Amino acid sequence: MKNSIKLIAVCLFVQLFTINLSAQDKAKQIDQLLTKYNEYGQFNGSALVSENGKIIFKKGYGSANMEWDIPNQPDTKFRLGSVSKQFTSLLIIKLVEEGKIKLDVPITTYLPDYPKANGDKITIHNLLTHTSGIPNFTSFPNFYKDLSRNPYSPEEFVKTFSNLPLEFTPGEKFSYSNSGYFVLGYIIEKITGKSYEQYLQEIIFTPLKMVNTGYDHSDIILKNRAAGYEKHGKVIVNASYIDMSIPYAAGSLYSTVEDLYLWDQALYTTKLLSQQSMDSMFKAYIPIGGGEESYGYGWFTSEVKIGAKDKVRIIEHGGGINGFNTVLSRIPANKNLVVLLNNTGGTVLGEMNEAIRAILYNQPFNQPKKSMAFELLDVYTNQGLATGTSTYKKLKTDPTYGIKEEDMNQVGYQLLQSGKKKEAIEIFKINVDTFPKSGNTYDSLGEAYLADGDKTLAIANYKKSLELNPKNESGKKVLEELTKK
């Protein structure tokens, strides 16, 4: 009997030792991956990874404040952008659970002053699933230069879009709308009699001891807050100002990777909601783009095949706000979590997330590559069209460089805005050649041709864009104008 107990103990020890070595190896691979992304100027922030509910990796990269060379750490606070939406959705479902609101009634039930022509058609469910048809305020032409810089009360800001025509019949389709989540925050205040910020603190942050999470205010001194930066090619500049009353319930929160781990763990429990209510947030309510991705309440959901394994369900959301972009990605079946918080504007967090996911499941993954777009920006800007084109031909054969669609698109628009139309066209042409199935690349090339006065090629590329992406509403409008007799 004693020998049997000893054998069991030895087996358990070996098993735990093997698991620990596996976690250490994965942590080492993740660190090497993110270190390379940092070296290539594509990640400046903090990361946390958990496997089977246990943290196996957390670390900061680059600077929280570049002026003072203050490093990013796991307790650095970052603005979350649209990752905030999952917190708003939970507050709404909490009110549903308490019988204070219903998901399937018009929003005018709770906002009697909301214009009835629109409000009587829109439900809470529509707002939660981005199926309301309310125009997205961050897409307004004057948003970044004007609207985003001024303070508004929730009531005042809702009036900037509530009377606008709906883009489609509510419930008809998915169209991402920050406006819808702004309205949800306003409804929370109306129902509870408390500010959105107060209710967040009371229902989520205090119970979960998320002491490093909250509603961000530019004027408040906040310990360990990361400064936000943007990249103009290889040049990093301070992010443009945004008044934090504007993102509101759609994107005004800050947090740390450590606090977001607490949040992730709570979602496996009934601390905040009943199991039925919790499950309702993660349902696939509305398909997106004809693929396997759908939207729940404040979360994107998808079924992804990893190597030869069966498909796993992924529940995640990204965020972007002036100077920051973020990803929180969960795989409930294995209680795996990836959190990436970055403070140098838009970067390839999705690419990093996929690589880390592959590491967790012992699968091969793509190594980081330098972004060719930023090399080409410098050359096209300073040395002209011919040198830029010859540089592209040279870099195309260099395996350390890669063409990233979003980076190329960003660089193309920077050239276009600086008056270098021919150079912008060349960048967009490279993007089209590299990503021929992306409607967005053709749309951008069409815009560049139009700016350069070539109406024929503009029409051809807008048509191709719509062929690949029939939901490109802005492209449809431009094409209609171009083809008018």
pLDDT tens by residue, 26-55: 999 999 999 999 999 999 999 999 999 999
Query: What's the pLDDT at 11?
Result: 54
**Among the ranges given (9-18, 55-64, 67-76), the one the predictor scored with the smallest mean pLDDT:** 9-18
The reply to whether CATH 1.25.40.10 applies to domain 370-482 is yes
Q: Tell me the H-state helices in 154-208.
A: 154-158, 178-192, 196-200
Choice between 14 and 152, residue whose per-residue pLDDT is larger? 152
Estimate the crossing angle of helix 473-482 against helix 455-468, to 10 degrees: 150
Q: Report the b/e string of 185-199 with b at 16+ CB within 10 A.
A: bbbbbebbeeebbeb
Query: What's the pLDDT at 306?
Result: 85
How confident is residue 18, by pLDDT bands cut at 50, 70 and 90? low
* 370-482 and 81-222+231-360 share a CATH fold: no
User: Tokens 């990233």 appear where?
Assistant: 404
CATH number for 81-222+231-360: choose from 3.30.420.270, 3.30.565.10, 3.30.460.20, 3.40.710.10. 3.40.710.10
> Domain limits of the chain?
81-222+231-360, 370-482
Number of residues in the chain: 485
User: Tokens 């429990």 appear where?
Assistant: 269
Query: What's the pLDDT at 110?
Result: 98
Digit-coded pLDDT (tens) for 122-139: 999 999 999 999 999 999
Plot region of 102 (φ>0 → left; ψ -120 to 50 → alpha; else → beta): beta
Say how far apart CA 134 and CA 156 lie, in whole Å: 16
Cross-strand bridge partners of residue 294: 287, 301
Digit-coded pLDDT (tens) for 228-257: 999 888 889 999 999 999 999 999 999 999
Q: Supply 403's token pair.
A: 């063409």
How confident is residue 484, by pLDDT bands cut at 50, 70 and 90? confident
Q: Tell me the H-state helices in 193-247.
A: 196-200
Say how far apart CA 305 and CA 290 lie, in whole Å: 17
**Among the ranges given (26-30, 75-79, 105-109, 377-381), the one the predictor scored with the smallest mean pLDDT:** 377-381
SS3 for 452? coil
Choice between 224 and 290, residue whose per-residue pLDDT is larger? 224
CA 235 to chain centre: 23
Average pLDDT on 332-352 reads 95
Q: What is the DSSP letter of 107?
A: G
Q: What is the DSSP letter of 112?
A: T
> What is the residue-averaged pLDDT of the chain?
93
pLDDT over 90 (residue 213): yes
Average pLDDT on 437-448 reads 94
pLDDT over 70 (residue 1): no
Digit-coded pLDDT (tens) for 282-297: 999 999 876 689 999 9
Average pLDDT on 416-436 reads 94
Say how far apart CA 228 and CA 147 lie, in whole Å: 19
Highest averaged pLDDT of the listed ranges 58-72, 358-372, 389-403:
58-72
pLDDT over 60 (residue 219): yes
SS3 for 231? strand
How confident is residue 313, by pLDDT bands cut at 50, 70 and 90? very high
Cross-strand bridge partners of residue 255: 78
